[in-house]
Structure 1
Amino acid sequence: MTARRYTAPMPDELRHRLRAGQHPARAVPCPHCQAHAHRPCQLRKSGRPLPQPHQQRIAAWAQLTACCPDCQVTPTVPCRTPQGWPLPDHAVHARRYQEAEDTAP
């Protein structure tokens, strides 16, 4: 007879520390390839996993986690032009990427 092993759910803080070698953008789903959070991005036709996340996923992560020093918007709010319109194609200012990387766990 085989003994059963029960496992407890892992706290999010511990999970992030164990995945320290991965890009922090993997904490959010990928809008390009629809990869789930904490899963690698993949090619849409072949399904082959990619070593780095798609640029759209990195932009979504930066938008979700960091304030933008250029346009002064809070996290989750898209970056804006000087006239107040959202940037095209959900783009993110370069300084917001830097801010997200500086505050990443």
Structure 2
Amino acid sequence: MNRYSAPMPDDLRHFMRARSVECPHCRAHAHRPCTTPSGRRLLPEPHPQRISAWARTTACCPACQVEPGVECHLDGWPLHDGQVHPQRDDEARRAAL
């Protein structure tokens, strides 16, 4: 066993997974923290748009029955600002554990 290994809390694991995609809000590169609009300050948590982008790339949506990589929709129209249904976010969190 590695002397540096330790169990990772579930909420931290979720946000680390969300960092594996580029942030559509602040354009932070994959595996880098989100920043303020000026890029001077690093944020402790990813933007909600980044979490949605991560869920969109990793999970199917139980609400609108779309595959990973496809935007969630409501009556044929994409959700506002690239959001995902809460069920898809839950599905992505379960898959990350």
Structures share fold, TM-score greater than 0.5: yes
Task: Report the Cα offset of residue 33 of structure 1.
Answer: 0.6
- Deviation of residue 94 (structure 1)? 0.4
* 2:44 counterpart of 1:51: yes
In structure 2, give the amino acid aligned to 1:39. Answer: R
How far did residue 87 of structure 1 move? 1.2
Question: Which is greater in Rg?
Answer: 1
Where do 5+ consecutive residues of structure 1 fail to align?
1-16
TM-score by length of 2: 0.81
- Per-residue deviation at 1:40? 0.4
**Structure 1 vs Structure 2: percent identity of aligned residues?**
55
How well do the aligned residues superpose, as a CA RMSD in angstroms? 1.9
Give TM-score, length-normalised by structure 1.
0.75
Aligned to 2:64: 71
Q: How far apart, CA to CA, are the structure 2 residues paired with 1:66 and 1:47?
A: 32
1:77: Cα distance to partner?
0.3
- Using CA pairs below 8 Å that are at least 6 residues apart, which structure has the higher relative contact order? 2
- Provide the aligned length of Structure 1 versus Structure 2: 87
Partner SS for 1:60 = helix
2:37 corresponds to which letter in structure 1?
A: R
Partner of 1:36: 29
Instruction: Name structure 2 gaps, 5 residues minimum.
Output: none
More strand by share: 2
Q: 1:42 Cα deviation (Å)?
A: 0.7
User: In the aligned structure 2, how far is the partner of 1:25 from the partner of 1:101?
Assistant: 10
- Seen in structure 2, the aligned counterparts of structure 1 residues 46 and 65 have a Cα distance that, compared at 3 Å, is closer
